[in-house]
Chain A
Amino acid sequence: MMRAMSPAPKDTRRRNKAERMRRVGKLASGKFVSAKSVPEVLRRIIEPGDILCLEGDNQKQADFLANQLATLTKKDLHDIHLVMSCLTLPSHIELFKKGLIRQVDFCYAGPQGQAVAQLLADGRFPLGAIHTYNEIYSRYYVDLTPRVALIAAVQADRQGNLYLAANTEDTPAIVEPTAFSDGIVFAQVNEIVDTLPRIDIPADQVDLIVEAPYPMHLTALFTRDPAAITDVQILMAMIALRGIYQKYEVQSLNHGVGFNTAAIELLLPTYGEQLGLKGKICKYWMVNPLPTMIPAIESGWVEGVFSVGGEVGMERYTAARSDIFFTGRDGSFHSNRAMGQLAGHYGVDMFIGATLQIDVNGNSSTVSKKRITGFGGAPNMGCQPMGRRHPTKAWLQAGAESNPGPGSIPGRKLVVQLAETFQSGRVPTFVEELDAQDPSIKKALHGVAPVMIYGDDVTHVVTEEGIANLAACRTIEERRAAIRGVAGYTPVGLKRKKRETQELRSRGIIQLPEDLGVSPSDVSRSLLAAQDIKGLVRWSGGLYDPPTQFVDW
């Protein structure tokens, strides 16, 4: 990681890059290399001790390059400092099994959460730190600047320009710091063409390109089948719409993707309409182009959506709705994770998402001893933006409730946790202490428990029992009592004191469904604007192309 140790730093990186590219020699024709030469090219451009960035985004993966990298041995490649957003592929894990990695800094493990936990337990995962996405991008400009970056693009032209199509995701955030620090950018593309629909990465920032033998790995992560939305999720959606969306007049927001928020999206054209909220809330969104957003968009609720990535199947729909979505000159969808996270941090009234575990102080995490998942982007959105200065109605209203002191920011972003009191298998969501606080996990993570969202940042917790307004709590004891008040029949909830709960309810800190005018008998799946994937296809006028795993007709 450190620059050449010399009294007067000069241009050693630039000269070293030229040397590496010279080593590639005849293996490249201009910028282009053949698929079968990739392992040898990687051997020649990567040196021991390098900071190496693999494009493993949340959705797309430079999987061909990762797979080729994983064929190398300790003889070819060692002491690598691996920096990347998401450890998703078996080939990523293979790098650790082979002992090639000296240190790893990343954000999210997701599909490899169990493998990471196992490697940690075995002492074969030399962790620097787990980050959020924007955190790691910022360090690419500070102390984690990649020497080599292996990225994924959809197409390249013969000059070496790249087209990223709908899933831009992390690519510019990786390419820019690498290209402008004499690093090497090596791209895999699905195909090489004469003319690109548009240029997303200019050829000047790209050193090597290979046309991969198979298209890049891309997962449909954000599609939720409305048929799977339960009554309890609909009840919670109604509670949230009344008690938060309506109450604070939320104009702009980010939804953490899941069935709970999908229920809210599908209730806007129906229940939201009944409440007279169209045009008053939910106009500006930072969220992926979710199929469950289609009915609200078609019904005229939405002014604009910016996204961190695309979503498989939504290509034609988003292109046909350029008034709503960001699209390029070619007419197709554009996204950007770094900027989307920034928008979700500073530019919106509210973050709302579901979580797996919440403790009595309001801290939440998805980490357990058997699965180290990391953070991804949620903490970027699920926190108080202390650098924010522009006021909105929601920000000021939530801020006033929290009784800011003379040295405190006057507004608060709405940070809302949705949590059914029990997860499947009767596992309580509410706990006295998070699994993430387990000493063995903290030790593996250098003493810092992997808390996703901190209780001090949360303004509201919504369960099927009601809403706890944590922002309005004056003390930590009140906050705990408020959480117990909505924690249902979990062991945490059973410890609530009746008188305390009643007092908090009379002050409006706990609100039950009946206080919000919501009754269980109002709950019905028929309130969902679309009740299955087919319904979403119909709403889109046939523009939505569900991936095959969602097609059962």
Chain B
Amino acid sequence: MEKFDKAFPSKPLTWPRGKQWALAGVVGSGNLEVLFERNPKISDQMDCHVESSIPGYKNSWLAALGDFASNYPVGGTKVTIHDQGADPIVVTFRLRQAYDHLLKKTP
């Protein structure tokens, strides 16, 4: 297992009333689950903790997470990922899904 933490600058996210967290994805082969939680302490940063069963792709993770933080307002969010070998396509997809779940409706 490869584990690392990294914070990325991002515009602040306005958390919808009543929402404390949002989850996307499932831990399975080629997939991951990502949990967004509030972190009021750092409103201009997305604070990430990643645990991946396939080591050696840190550069790819950092690029995908960095792009996500710069394209979406997710400051003030703690992001935790349990990964079982998702490729960058799935990583980006799940991050966007979690963001959508947070802002909208779909679980």
Contacts and interface: CB of A to CB of B under 8 A. Distances in A.
A and B touch in the complex (CB under 8 A): yes
Interface of A: 231-232, 235, 420-422, 426, 464, 488-489, 494, 519-521
A232 B97 CA distance: 13
A521 B97 contact: yes
Nearest to A524: B106
B1 interface: no
Nearest to A426: B87
Interface stretch (B4-12, B36-44, B75-83, B88-96): B88-96
Interface of B: 59-60, 63-64, 85, 87-90, 92-93, 96-97, 100, 104, 106
A521 B104 contact: yes
Contacts of B89: 232, 420-422, 464, 488
Given A420-B89, A421-B88, A488-B89, A494 B100 contact: no
A231 B25 CA distance: 12
A494 B63 contact: yes
B88 A422 contact: yes
Contacts of B60: 489, 494
Contact of A519 (B59, B90, B100): B100
Contact of A494 (B59, B87, B97, B104): B59
A219 to B, nearest CB: 29
29 contacts: A232-B89, A232-B90, A232-B93, A235-B93, A420-B89, A421-B88, A421-B89, A422-B87, A422-B88, A426-B85, A426-B87, A464-B89, A464-B93, A488-B88, A488-B92, A489-B60, A489-B63, A489-B64, A494-B60, A494-B63, A519-B96, A519-B100, A520-B96, A520-B97, A521-B96, A521-B97, A521-B100, A521-B104, A521-B106
Given A231-B93, A232-B93, A494-B60, 9 more contacts: A232-B89, A488-B92, A489-B60, A519-B96, A519-B100, A520-B96, A520-B97, A521-B96, A521-B100
A489 B100 CA distance: 22
Nearest to A235: B93
Contacts of A488: 88-89, 92
Contacts of B106: 521
Contacts of A421: 88-89
Contacts of B63: 489, 494
A235 B93 CA distance: 10
A259 to B, nearest CB: 14
A57 B60 CA distance: 43
List of 7 A-B pairs having minimum Cβ-Cβ separation, nearest first: A489-B88, A521-B100, A520-B96, A422-B87, A489-B60, A426-B87, A489-B63
Contacts of B100: 519-521
A510 to B, nearest CB: 14
A420 B93 CA distance: 13
A521 B64 CA distance: 18
A502 to B, nearest CB: 11
Contacts of B104: 521
A464 B90 CA distance: 10
B93 A520 contact: yes
A180 B44 CA distance: 79
B103 to A, nearest CB: 9
A535 B106 CA distance: 26
A231, A235, A521: most-surrounded residue (chain B CB, <10 A): A521
Contacts of B96: 519-521
A265 to B, nearest CB: 22
Contacts of B59: 494
A519 B97 CA distance: 9
B93 to A, nearest CB: 6
Nearest to A425: B87
B53 to A, nearest CB: 13
Contacts of A521: 96-97, 100, 104, 106
Nearest to A422: B87
B23 to A, nearest CB: 14
Contacts of B88: 421-422, 488-489
A231 B86 CA distance: 14
User: Which of B85, B87, B100, B104 neighbours the largest number of chain A CB atoms within 10 Å of its CB?
Assistant: B87
Nearest to B96: A520
Contacts of A520: 93, 96-97, 100
Nearest to A463: B89
Contacts of A420: 89
A344 B55 CA distance: 46
Contacts of B93: 231-232, 235, 464, 520
Contacts of B90: 232
Nearest to B93: A520
B50 to A, nearest CB: 14
